[in-house]
Structure 1
Amino acid sequence: MFQFKWLWHNLKGDRAGYIFALCMSVIGCSLTIINPYIGQRIVDHFIAGNDAAQHLATEKGLLIGLVLGMVGFSLLRTGLAYFTTLLYERSSQNMLFRIRVYLYNKIQGQDMRYYDRNRTGDLMTKMTGDIEMVRHSLAWIMKTIIESLTVFIAAVVYFFFIDAELTLWLLLLSPPIGIVAFIFARRVRPMYVDLREKLSQLNTITQENIAGNRVVKAFAREDYEIQKFTEKNVNYSKANKAAALVWLDYFPYLETFSQAFLVILMLVGGLFVMNGRITFGELSAFSALIWGLSNPMRTIGIVINDIQRFFASLSKIIEVYYANPDIVNEHNAAGKKRYHGYIKFENVSFKYDSATVLDNINFSVDPGETIAIMGATGSGKTTLINLIPRFYDATKGRVLVDGIDVRKLELDELRSNIGVATQDVLLFSDTVDGNIAFGDPDMPEEDVTSFAKLAAAHDFIAKMPEGYNTIVGERGVGLSGGQKQRIALARALAVKPPILILDDTTSAVDLETEEHIQQSLRELDFTCTKIIIAQRVSTTAKADRILIIEDGRIIEEGTHAELLEKRGYYYDVFMLQNEGIGREASIQYGKK
């Protein structure tokens, strides 16, 4: 029942139209008894009756009227069917639109943990195939069920009106058909749940391979990936065939029972006609409407198949529909302000599941200060900066921005005050201008150009076929790693953030370009606190302070010169990157 309450809730705005369509379906299908009744009158009055010849000679007008009545009711039923189909389609399409928008907004509002635990291909399946299956069920399966039931009930009522005993003989087949249908439904439902999971796996591996096609080609692993895809495709194909072919185990029984209606009608109905219990016209009415009993039995397997698909898809949609993030964005547009850029970590620890990533982190950053963070891969650097815009929340301790715990700040306001550029750059399939102005679509072109110059991106952009109007391929295809990083940096700078977070953003650019970028960052015309993750000493040397993180702890802190004096991790990295430079020279380098 919960599933149907959910559907009813999401039909809001189209409930009246949908209910009206259901009523029209009932009325239209109830009219199916009219033509068999008219046919009965024609047979008994003009063909098989005792005075049939006389009636045919004297009452031609009545015969023509009855024939025209049959034609008229057929056209009426056709018109009603067309009209109700339009209503079903409109209601279901509107519901599909609302649910898809809601799910998209719901997914957008999820925190990073949700994306860590849900595969992209699985989410895509829910947003496309699963939603479409729900729409199909609302528009066509419910329509089929209502119409089949209406025709069945109308036929039974009419048959009882003609002859109750013959009707009971026909209805003897209903219980065994119901039992077969119930057994079939119980067997096929888990198969469709498994089928849906196999489809999700197939979509996931397809999405991953398309997104990572360059890596696949770089390692010449096309054959391997084709084999992986083929394996998933075979699994899906087998599951699909198993679910589809299980119907064949029950089809002979249901088809036999359906055909048995005609056998019973011929045997029992024929005896009743010979005994004078019913007329030829009444037998013809039974014959004309017997499909109202047999056809629902034939289609019951298809309906059950689609219903089980519907429940399997709906359960997945509801998982997203009612998923609530731990970090909630209220999207409160009122009262937003510009921050000063003061940041403080107080005894911050962070665990991902059971693994400790950060342990008792303490440091502060003053407005306008530049902090560089260095450490080995997996030391917790990226996790640390992810706590500032609340991509994750600290397990223990507090992260403060302008003296306020970030958990008490409105998310949109907090994140609008932070510019972020990462090493793994994502550029949208848009113009270069559109990518740089992503945070402010109304940004003037001259400002876009200004920020591109700050990020050392203007020169190569100007050489592109259409300059800033050049369409960038998906994920920046067609640009080098360094070019993508510079566009991402320009995008982060374009919002003039009081807090700028750069996660190894200049790792793919040459030293000369990096020096230009560093100079630009030092000469920004707005106050900006900068937190820079870097592996190059050339990037960290001019920072106001440098933090060294190892296994989630800060093991060194100080200026470039101070850390070289300590002869620790930073000193070792410096010596590796500057072989042959003596201690005094290295310290002097830091003072320049």
Structure 2
Amino acid sequence: MFQLKWLWHNLRGDRARYIIALCLSVVGCSLTIINPYLGQRIVDTFLAGPDAAHNLSDKRSLLIGLCIGMVGFSLLRTSLAYFTTMLYERSSQNMLYRVRIFLYNKIQGQDMNYYDHNRTGDLMTKMTGDLDMVRHTMAWIIKTIIESLTIFVAAVIYFFYIDVELTLWLLLLSPPIFIVAFLFAKRVRPMYTDLRERLSQLNTITQENIAGNRVVKAFAREPYEVQKFHDKNVNFSKANKAAAMVWLDYFPYLETLAQGFTVVLLLAGGLLVMDARITFGEFSAFSALVWGLSNPMRNIGIIINDIQRFFASLNKIVDVYYAHPDIVNGHNAVVKRRYKGRIQFENVSFKYDNATVLKNISFTVEPGETIAIMGATGSGKTTLINLIPRFYDVTEGRVLVDGTDVRKLELDELRGNIGVATQDVLLFSDTIDGNIAYGDPDMPEEDVQKFAKLAAAHDFITKMPDGYDTIVGERGVGLSGGQKQRIALARAMAVQPPILILDDTTSAVDLETEEHIQRSLRELDFACTKIIIAQRVSTTAEADRILILDNGRVVEDGTHAELLAKRGYYYEVFMLQNEGIGRQVTANGPK
């Protein structure tokens, strides 16, 4: 019942069209009894009746009329079937379009935690194969159910009208068919749920392999990836065949019972004709319409097969459809204001899947200040900066921007005031100009070039075949790591944000380029608070303050000179990078 309510809810805008289609299906299928009735009249009046010869000469116009009527009703049914199919297709395609847009928007509106726990391949399967199964249900399965049921009921009513006893003999086969269909449905449903999961795994493997093709080739792991795909493909194929074989297990019974209608008709109907209980015309009507009983019974297996697929697909779609993010972007219409850029962390702690990542962190960044964050891998640096634009929410404490808890700020406004260059650089399959101007598609070309120069990207861009109009490959394929970092940096600066967050964005550039970038960041012509994650002392040395994270805690806080004097982690990194001296540097150094 829930599935039908969901379908009805999403048919908004096409409900009238779909109801008309259902009504036309009923009308068109009800007309199937007309031709057998006309055939019965022809046989009894002009072929097998006692006055057949007389009627052929005296009532020829009636014969012609009945024949024309059969042709006319056949054309009418064909026209109705064509028009009805068009209505089903139009309404189902419109519903598919709306649901796909809704799901895409729903996925876009999810928070980072959702993406952390859902595979890309699985989401792609939901947006494609699962949605198409829903469309197939609306356009074919429900249509087939309505038409099969209508034909069955119309045939039974007409048969009862002709002869009750023969009809009851025919209906004796219905209960066994329904029992077989029920057993089939009970057995096959969990198999289609498993089949859907294996398809998702197959798509995930494919997506990951294509996205990581450089890594695969770098390690010459093509044979391994081919084998991994082969294994998943074999698993999916086995599950598919197993589900198909279940249908084959029950098909002989359904087909035999369906064919049994004809056998019963020949035996019971023949005896009734011999006893003159029914006429030859009535027997011919039974013969012409017995498919109205057998075909729906044959369709039961196919319908159940597809319905189980539909349930498996719809359950996956519903997972996305009714998913609610913990961090909601309401896209509320507010007057966008420019922040001053003051950032405060007040006793902030953060847990991820019950693992504590940050512990009781407090510090303040004044507007225009540059704060550098250093620490060992896994110390919580990236998690810390992800709390500012609310990619995640704190577990305890508060993060404030301009004195307001970020949880009380409109997300579009908050994130519109923050420029982010992430550690994992993602460039879109677009021009370089389009990637830099991503935050402001109407940005003048001279501004694009201005920020490219600030990011030390202008020189290599102008040397490319089409300059700023060069199309970069998916995820920036075709560019070096340093080039991608510089384009990402230009993209972050291009929106001229009051808060600029740079997550290790100069790790892949040479020292000369890094110095140019650092100088550009110091000389920005707009007020900007900068938070920079870096591992090079050359990047952090001129920051107003440097925070050192260790195991989720701030263990050092101060300027370059102050931290060197403390002879702690920062001092060790400085010595390693500048003098090549390890942890045992001198008797006065840290041990």
Matched, 1:544 2:544: yes
Aligned pairs for 1:97-176 (under 5 A) are: 97-176=97-176
In structure 1, distance between residues paired with 2:243 and 2:186 = 12
Q: Following TM superposition, where does structure 1 have runs of at least 4 consecutive aligned residues deviating by more than 3 angstroms?
A: none
Aligned pairs for 1:181-200 (under 5 A) are: 181-200=181-200
Match of 1:401 in 2: 401
1:201–1:232 Cα contact (<8 Å) kept = yes
Match of 2:39 in 1: 39
Aligned pairs for 1:87-486 (under 5 A) are: 87-486=87-486
In structure 2, distance between residues paired with 1:232 and 1:500 = 43
In structure 2, distance between residues paired with 1:223 and 1:467 = 38
1:540–1:546 Cα contact (<8 Å) kept = yes
Provide the secondary structure at the position in 1 that maps to 2:238. helix
1:184–1:247 Cα contact (<8 Å) kept = yes
Give the letter aligned to residue 291 of structure 1: W
In structure 1, distance between residues paired with 2:247 and 2:213 = 39
Provide the secondary structure at the position in 2 that maps to 1:556. strand
In structure 2, distance between residues paired with 1:580 and 1:390 = 39
Deviates more, 1:373-382 or 1:459-468: 459-468
RMSD: 0.9
In structure 2, distance between residues paired with 1:207 and 1:376 = 31
Give the letter aligned to residue 248 of structure 1: L
In structure 2, distance between residues paired with 1:458 and 1:53 = 99
Match of 2:84 in 1: 84
Deviations 1:172-214 (A, max 9, x none): 0000101010010000000000000000000001100000011
Residues 493 and 401 of structure 1: is their aligned pair in 2 closer, same or farther, counting only changes over 3 Å?
A: same
Give the letter aligned to residue 74 of structure 1: S
Deviations 1:460-497 (A, max 9, x none): 11111111111111000100000000000010001000
Shift of 1:581: 8.7
Provide the secondary structure at the position in 2 that maps to 1:542. coil
In structure 1, distance between residues paired with 2:48 and 2:28 = 30
Residues 307 and 580 of structure 1: is their aligned pair in 2 closer, same or farther, counting only changes over 3 Å?
A: closer
Match of 2:24 in 1: 24
Deviations 1:112-154 (A, max 9, x none): 0000000000000000000000010011000000000000000
Match of 1:585 in 2: none
Match of 1:590 in 2: none
- TM-score, with length taken from structure 1: 0.98
- TM-score, with length taken from structure 2: 0.98
Provide the secondary structure at the position in 2 that maps to 1:374. strand
Deviations 1:423-442 (A, max 9, x none): 21000011111111110111
Residues 103 and 580 of structure 1: is their aligned pair in 2 closer, same or farther, counting only changes over 3 Å?
A: closer
In structure 2, distance between residues paired with 1:333 and 1:568 = 48
In structure 2, distance between residues paired with 1:267 and 1:330 = 71
Deviations 1:242-275 (A, max 9, x none): 1111011111111110111000000000000010
Provide the secondary structure at the position in 1 that maps to 2:364. strand
In structure 2, distance between residues paired with 1:334 and 1:561 = 44
Give the letter aligned to residue 309 of structure 2: R
Give the letter aligned to residue 73 of structure 2: F
In structure 2, distance between residues paired with 1:8 and 1:27 = 22
In structure 1, distance between residues paired with 2:324 and 2:258 = 49
Provide the secondary structure at the position in 1 that maps to 2:379. coil
In structure 2, distance between residues paired with 1:345 and 1:521 = 24
Residues 581 and 235 of structure 1: is their aligned pair in 2 closer, same or farther, counting only changes over 3 Å?
A: closer
Give the letter aligned to residue 290 of structure 1: V
Provide the secondary structure at the position in 2 that maps to 1:554. strand
In structure 1, distance between residues paired with 2:255 and 2:88 = 29
Aligned residues: 582
Identity of aligned residues (%): 82
Match of 1:587 in 2: none
Give the letter aligned to residue 474 of structure 1: E
Shift of 1:312: 0.5
1:423–1:507 Cα contact (<8 Å) kept = no
Shift of 1:544: 0.6
Give the letter aligned to residue 513 of structure 1: T
Provide the secondary structure at the position in 2 that maps to 1:345. strand
Shift of 1:306: 0.3
Match of 2:11 in 1: 11
In structure 1, distance between residues paired with 2:580 and 2:537 = 15
Match of 2:585 in 1: none
Gapped regions of structure 2 (runs ≥ 5): 583-591
In structure 1, distance between residues paired with 2:427 and 2:76 = 57
Match of 2:559 in 1: 559
Shift of 1:333: 2.7
Shift of 1:334: 2.0
In structure 1, distance between residues paired with 2:468 and 2:164 = 82
In structure 1, distance between residues paired with 2:235 and 2:97 = 31
Give the letter aligned to residue 163 of structure 1: D
1:429–1:475 Cα contact (<8 Å) kept = yes
Match of 1:589 in 2: none
Match of 2:586 in 1: none
Give the letter aligned to residue 330 of structure 1: G
Give the letter aligned to residue 538 of structure 1: S
Match of 1:66 in 2: 66
Deviations 1:82-110 (A, max 9, x none): 00000000000000011000000000000
Shift of 1:383: 0.1
Give the letter aligned to residue 229 of structure 2: F
Gapped regions of structure 1 (runs ≥ 5): 583-592
In structure 1, distance between residues paired with 2:319 and 2:303 = 24
In structure 2, distance between residues paired with 1:262 and 1:159 = 14
Provide the secondary structure at the position in 2 that maps to 1:103. helix
Give the letter aligned to residue 23 of structure 2: C
In structure 1, distance between residues paired with 2:220 and 2:459 = 34
Shift of 1:54: 1.0
In structure 1, distance between residues paired with 2:98 and 2:430 = 26
Deviates more, 1:50-59 or 1:72-81: 50-59
Provide the secondary structure at the position in 1 that maps to 2:524. coil
In structure 2, distance between residues paired with 1:462 and 1:262 = 80
Residues 564 and 263 of structure 1: is their aligned pair in 2 closer, same or farther, counting only changes over 3 Å?
A: same
Give the letter aligned to residue 518 of structure 1: Q
In structure 2, distance between residues paired with 1:295 and 1:472 = 56
In structure 2, distance between residues paired with 1:215 and 1:377 = 21
Shift of 1:503: 0.2
